């Protein structure tokens, strides 16, 4: 093969029109992700972008929006229990799932109902 995959540049999560303020509160303020500017030619579409480690999270406006209930990103977190406490303070529901060996994890929904996994690798 003459091509090789190097990683993931970004993931996109859909949200309804007018989502930007709520997205900034959740992804920016609550999760602490830094917002990055969208390219000028894409700004008119709405939504907003954030940086997460070396990857980007794109919150994109979808006219006929339905939240992703099964498909989801998995964010690797340092100090998962601190995040759990922070989400709890903001009344964000936590969902437990079957454990995976070598990882602690839980799920939550973003303000638009998209499923998100948060996980921490065990030493």
> Does any domain span residue 96?
yes
Q: Where in the sequence is the domain holding 49, given as residue range(s)?
A: 10-121
> Does any domain span residue 2?
no
> Does any domain span residue 66?
yes
Would you state the pLDDT for residue 1? 78
Low-confidence ranges of the chain (pLDDT < 70): none
Would you state the pLDDT for residue 8? 94
Would you state the pLDDT for residue 25? 97
DSSP assignment string, 63-99: TT----SS---EEE-SSHHHHHHHHHHTT---B----
Would you state the pLDDT for residue 123? 84
> Does any domain span residue 3?
no
- The model's pTM is 0.93
> Does any domain span residue 4?
no
């Amino acid at each position: 093969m003459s091509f090789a995959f190097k990683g993931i540049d970004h993931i996109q999560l859909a949200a309804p029109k007018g989502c930007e303020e709520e997205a900034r509160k959740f992804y920016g303020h609550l999760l602490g992700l830094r917002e990055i500017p969208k390219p000028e030619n894409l700004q008119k579409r709405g939504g907003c972008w954030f940086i997460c480690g070396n990857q980007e999270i794109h919150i994109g406006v979808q006219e006929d929006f339905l939240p992703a209930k099964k498909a989801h990103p998995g964010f690797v977190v340092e100090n998962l229990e601190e995040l759990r406490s922070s989400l709890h303070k903001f009344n964000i529901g936590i969902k437990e799932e079957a454990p995976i060996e070598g990882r602690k994890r839980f799920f939550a929904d973003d303000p638009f109902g998209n499923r998100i996994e948060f996980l921490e690798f065990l030493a």
